[in-house]
Every structure is written in C-alpha cells, then in structure tokens.
Copies of this chain bind each other. A is one copy, B any other.
C-alpha cells in the first residue's frame, strides 16, 4: 500500500461508502462495520462518525483515542455484513474473517490489508460522544492499494441491501468554485 496525505480523506469518504473500523485495546484488535459517517471539513481534515456504547469498539476507541477507517470493496461484501452481525466480545474478527492486520504508522489500531484504503485516525473532539456517540476524528495517515483492480465500493441502503458503485460522471469542469479540491487521490 502507498501512503498518501491525510488531507485526501474526503476523496475516499464523501461518496458515502460503507466502511470498516478497527481498534486495538491492550493488544487485542477488533473490527466493526460502520455506515454512519461524514466529512466535517477539508482543512484541517475532520471526519465525524457514530460509535456508541452499544458497539464493542466504543471502549477501545474511548480508551486509546485511535482507530483506522478502512474502505472495503465489493469482493468483501459478505464479510462486511457478517462483521456487523457479530460482536468482538465473542469473536476475534480478524481470525474469523481471515483478514490481515497490518501495523499502522501512527496509531495502535491495525490496517486491513484486504481493503482498498485505510485511514488512520485520532479522536479530535468528544463533545457529542455522550449524547450521540458522535466522534470527530482527525485523519493522520492514509494508505491506498494502487495495485488492485476492484475499486467499486458499497453503499448501505440501511436495510441490508447495498448499492454498488456504477459509472462515474465527470463534471469537474462545472466545479468552478471548488477547483482546489480536484487533486489526484
């Protein structure tokens, strides 16, 4: 995987893919599936997401202030759903789902080698955590797998159906006010 600038997180997240989130607490890694996330701002980059006490990952995220937001593609569709339908209290999800944990550069949570991209994050603001489980994250490093052919992400329709990325419509020439954001991933 190639390391790219953390300011590029919006190029991976604004489109709203379903993501996996890894944490590590006292050496024990876990993974959850997450559909509730958004970009908050481009610069400095901030991401918001919902992870509450009802998620096993909440304890590790709260304790360490670190996680990795990993972006799976369609080849992992069933795994993404199954990860979201069992709990890290009972299962070692890396082992059960045959995923490869790789060391991150800046956080204790591991990267997932099988994902298209991995965004290392640190918790930047906990003001709305108690009320909604809403964490504001700062991306601190991003890894992207340049070699893979499969790049289609999944969008959860909220009910167990997922819309797969279709064709791409290029309207960059009309984005006259936003040229600064047209950088390569």
Contact = CB atoms under 8 A, between A and B. Distances in A.
Which bucket holds chain A's interface residue count? Answer: 35 or more
Interface in A39-98: 39-41, 46, 48-50, 74, 77-78, 81-82, 84-85
Interface in A155-185: 155-178, 181-183
A174 B78 contact: yes
Contacts of A158: 10-11, 13-15, 39, 181
B166 A163 contact: yes
Given A161-B172, A166-B167, A177-B85, A155 B16 contact: yes
B177 A159 contact: no
A112 interface: no
